[in-house]
Amino acid sequence: MATLLYRLGKTAYRRWPIFIAGWLVVLVGLGAVAGYLSKPMSNTFSIPGIESVETAELQQELFPDAEAVDAPTATIVVAAPEGKTLAQQPQAAAVASLVADLNALDDVTDGVVGPVEAAAGLEAQVNAGIDDAEAQAKAAGQPFDREAALAQAKTQIASATPLSDDGRVGTVAFTFDEPTVLEVTPEMQDEVRAVIDDARDTGLTVEVSGSAMQSMEPGGASSELIGIALALVILALTFGSLVAAGMPIVTAGIGVGIGITAITAMTAITEVPSSTTALASMLGLAVGIDYALFILARYRNELDHTDDREEAIGVAVGTAGSAVVFAGLTVIIALVALSVVGISFLTAMGLGAAATVTVAVLVALTLLPAILGLLKSKAFGGTFRRYTPAREANGHILNNGVRWARFLGKAPLVWVLLVIVGLGALALPVKDMHLALPTDSTAAKDTTQRKASDLVTEAFGPGRLSPMLLVVDAREIEDPQARQAAYQAVTTWAAGQDDVANAMMAAGNEKGAMVLIQPSSGAEDAATEDLLESLRDGEEAIESETGTKVGVTGLTAIQADVSEKLADALPVYLAIVIGLAFVLLVMVFRSLLVPLTATLGFLLSVMATLGATVAIFQEGMFGIFPGQPIVSFIPIFLIGVVFGLAMDYQVFLVTRIREAHVHGASFRESVVDGFRNSARVVTSAALIMTAVFAGFIFMDEPIVQSMGFALAAAVIFDAFVVRLVLIPALMYLMGEKAWYLPKWLDRIIPNVDIEGENLHRPHLEEHYATVKA
């Protein structure tokens, strides 16, 4: 491979106009296709095999006119000043105006009712039902306990009423005239917000919650711009040249542009989820900078040995480019493997990001050499710090990488134990990790969703925000009285479960019934998940007793099921990623122990990252963030992204160690020589990624904060602790055995020559002849 890439690098350098023009044609061509033929990206996704989703489909079958689980509903929470009620003036007039304004909106369905009127109507409806039941009992000559019925009705009213006991807080539910939440536009939401702002001017406290009012606007580019700016500063400090610092940014930007444009263009022939571009842009930029940085650093290194720039870039692409190819393959494996989860938007994100990473690899191998061919001697122009490294007596560069490697070599076992114990201790909180999807109650404290959630929780209890719907299929029961008895039995059974504040039949017909269950705990509480599990554990028994079929659905149940699906897929995903990457690394390093230590080190850093995230974000350590569950998709997302970056650093660092070993250096000097040439580059790449990810910690959204923290911590642990401490220390301990490969395996695996063993480089003979064992 090194020979092939060597020729490719020289060709791209020599014929730079063709390669630059070719990439520009690709970018412009894809842009034209995307501009003229692309279609809107899809906002829908399916989650096959989720019990709550199947129950939601059953609900629509039994009750075609019922509101779907994903209906675009929202709730406005209104609160009168302390000591006042919503029934008093002027609060009553303000609420009436709010309701009237909502009903006047074209995109809101008619029939919005104020909380005072809705509460009175509910009470009248329940009382009328009691009167009818009493009349029927008397007509049949049966006894009727009105006091018991009233007590039960009071409980039902309390669980469903939109007005708090003191009359101060009320809820106004409304629905957008669209089939699903995803069809609600920002303009529709702005109209509702304008109505809310008008109501606030009357002295009411008015907040809004619900999925239909979640922000649909794409996030701004400020984080990306800050990340690019930080990357530019680090690259400038690394090369001491403004021109060289800008090249990785330019090539990475072009690669991401082509990748995103290609994804957009794909909408012309297939359906593409709107979430596809998110991971592609972030990871494409990250690896694009890393890959260009590594090749450019190797190019500068080769210029120390030759004045032939074409030859220097050929060797750089042949050696560093080979490492880039295999580092890219590990990232692609991790991303494509996201499809095993079985959730469409994750699959699309993985495949889209994998395609963008592929483009980043090709750009680094061809466009970067072409740009160097264009710039020639000006490639390191704009110099503000001359590169004059210190030299040892034998002429070898003496830098901090060499000093650090030799320092580790004095007591490698101590460093191995320190890393294992340290990261192991950080990983301990993982055993208490609680996964859940975000809700309004976990939003940032200054958001209207969080304020609305807090008002509802205070006035009605946390269970009001986490209802579940028990769907009863009674189509096999022909007798109407037996059917009604079955509905009552199911309702009574549900009400008797632990953590149930109330269960009431919300609707019923000749096909089935819907039982609304209000837990005593919130959606993010473990007790609510236990209730869901308890209901499902008892389904078989109640079905046998009543002759019905039952299932639980609702947003709370769906979110819990998605979290469980992600958690169940995690071990499978991890096994596939690590297994395939291990095979690939065996080919790259022609060793069993080096790939094994690489993957075990990654597991150690990921577990430490998850443990630290649980401690700070879930347990609320240090009081920096309020304790709340870890977002369900963070672990699998973290593994996919960080595994790719970790293997990048592993390949970049250890290929230089192996190169020294292949050319005759002892195991100890191989480690030192590898650090001499790669430690600075790996450090720079890791600092860039850490700075980019850490910037998200300062945003207001808790989910984004936890993701930014987890990614930044993972890079710190893996790059600076595992790759720059644990791996070299282990290689010192393993000695020559690190490169052991059984002869039978050596014969069957292809020799990819990632170190450029077949390239003619006379200066290496002199270089390694002076390396002392």
CATH of the domain at 431: 1.20.1640.10
Q: What is the arithmetic mean of pLDDT over 607-615?
A: 92
- Look at residues 335, 359, 383 and tell me which one is the last residue of a structural domain: 383
Nearby residues of 102 by Cβ (< 8 Å), 6 or more positions away? 76, 108, 112, 172, 174, 192, 195
pLDDT value at position 772? 46
Give the pLDDT mean for 480-499: 90
Distance of CA 476 to the CA centre of its chain: 44
| Structural domain range at position 691 | 393-439+567-749
Which of the residue ranges 110-119, 581-590, 761-770 has the most confident prediction, judged by mean pLDDT? 110-119
Q: Please check whether residue 752 is in contact with residue 5, taking contact to mean a CB–CB distance below 8 angstroms.
A: no
Q: Is residue 575 a contact partner of residue 489, using CB atoms and an 8 Å limit? A: no
Q: Within this chain, do residues 659 and 687 fall inside the same structural domain, yes or no? A: yes
**Are 345 and 307 found together in one domain?**
yes
User: How far apart (Å, rounded) are the C-alpha atoms in residues 412 and 418?
Assistant: 10
Percent share of the chain, pLDDT over 70: 94
User: Both 375 and 400 in a single domain?
Assistant: no
Instruction: Identify whether 90 is preceded by a cis peptide bond (ω within 30 of 0).
Output: yes
Specify the higher pLDDT residue, 367 or 645: 367
Tell the burial category of 106 from Cβ atoms under 10 Å away from its Cβ (0-12, 13-18, 19+).
exposed
Q: Is residue 9 part of a domain?
A: yes
Break the chain down into helix, strand, coil percent, rounded to 5: 70, 10, 25
Q: What percent of the chain lies above the pLDDT cut of 90?
A: 31
Ranges 58-62, 272-276, 457-461, 575-579: which has the least confidence = 272-276
Residue 280 domain flag: yes
pLDDT on residue 218: 45
Residue length of the chain: 773
The chain-wide mean pLDDT, for the chain, equals 85
User: pLDDT tier at 267 (50, 70, 90 boundaries)?
Assistant: confident
- Closest CA relative to residue 529, chosen from 503, 496, 554, 561: 561
Instruction: Please enumerate in sequence order all residues whose Cβ is within 8 A of that of 581, keeping only pairs 6 or more positions apart, or say none.
Output: 330, 333, 334, 595, 599, 643, 647
| Residue 329 shares a structural domain with residue 406 | no
Top pLDDT among 413 and 150 is at 413
Inform me whether the pLDDT recorded for 217 exceeds 50: no
Q: How far apart are CA 19 and CA 254, in angstroms?
A: 13
At residue 326, does pLDDT exceed 80?
A: yes
- Would you place residue 506 in the very low, low, confident or very high pLDDT band (cuts 50, 70, 90)? confident
In angstroms, how far is CA 637 from the centroid of its own chain?
A: 5
Is 325 domain-assigned? Answer: yes
CA–CA separation, 480 and 529 (whole Å):
34
> Taken in order 715, 721, 725, 727, is the CA torsion positive or negative?
negative
Mean pLDDT across 701-710: 78
pLDDT exceeds 80 at position 634: yes
Instruction: Please compute the mean of the pLDDT values over residues 403-415 and round it to a whole number.
Output: 94
Residue 275's pLDDT is what? 67
Picking from 254, 237, 535, the residue whose alpha carbon sits closest to that of residue 387 is 237
Is the per-residue pLDDT at 611 higher than 90? yes
Measure the CA–CA gap between 653 and 649, rounded to whole angstroms: 6
Q: What pLDDT shows up at residue 760?
A: 53
Average pLDDT, integer, range 20-32: 92
Amino acid residing at 635: P
Instruction: Compute the distance between CA of residue 427 and CA of residue 459 in angstroms, rounded to an integer.
Output: 39
**pLDDT at residue 542 in the model:** 92
What tokens appear for 393 in the block?
Answer: 């007596």
Domain end call among 383, 401, 431:
383
Q: What is the average pLDDT across 628-656?
A: 81
Assigned token pair, 743 = 């002869």
Q: How confident is the model at residue 18 (pLDDT cuts 50, 70, 90)?
A: very high
Per-residue pLDDT at 223 = 60
Instruction: Examine the pLDDT at 366 and tell me if it is beyond 90.
Output: yes
Calculate ∠ Cα 655-656-659, nearest 5°.
Answer: 85
On whether residue 287 sits in a domain, the answer given is yes
Please check whether residue 15 lies inside any domain of the structure. yes
Is residue 490 in some structural domain? no
Among 697, 586, 713, residue whose Cα is nearest residue 651 = 586
pLDDT of residue 773: 42
Q: What are the φ/ψ torsions at residue 770 (nearest 5 degrees)?
A: -95, 0
Instruction: Domain count for the chain, please give it.
Output: 2
Say what the pLDDT of residue 732 is. Answer: 94
Out of 410-419, 480-489, 516-525, the most confident range is: 410-419
Q: Are residues 593 and 622 in the same domain?
A: yes
pLDDT score of 764 more than 60: no
DSSP strand pairing (630-631 vs 435-436): parallel
Domain contains 185: no
Overall pTM surpassing 0.75 (yes/no)? yes
411, pLDDT greater than 50 = yes
- Residue 64 located in a structural domain: no
Angle (CA) 247-403-754 rounded to 5° is: 50
Residue pair 336/392 in contact (Cβ under 8 Å)? The answer is no
Mention every residue, 6+ apart, whose C-beta is less than 8 A from residue 749. Answer: 586, 587, 590
State the pLDDT at residue 287: 85
* pLDDT score recorded for residue 93: 93
The pLDDT of residue 220 is above 50: no
Is 730 in the same domain as 604?
Answer: yes
| Same domain for 347 and 245 | yes
- Residue 318 sits in the same domain as residue 426: no
Report the pLDDT averaged over residues 539-552.
Answer: 93
pLDDT tens sequence across 108-147? 888 889 999 988 888 887 778 777 777 877 887 778 777 7
**Looking at residue 222, what is its pLDDT?**
59
User: 264-268, 431-435, 644-648: lowest mean pLDDT where?
Assistant: 644-648
Same-domain status, 620 and 731? yes
Beta bridge partners of 473: 512, 549
In this prediction, residues 309-332 reach a mean pLDDT of 87
Looking at the structure, do residues 276 and 359 belong to the same domain, yes or no? yes
* CA 445 to centroid of chain Cα atoms: 22
For residues 367 and 411, state if they share a domain.
no
How far is the C-alpha of 215 from the C-alpha of 210, rounded, in Å?
Answer: 11
The predicted model gives 702-728 an average pLDDT of 88
Is residue 379 located within the same domain as residue 398? no
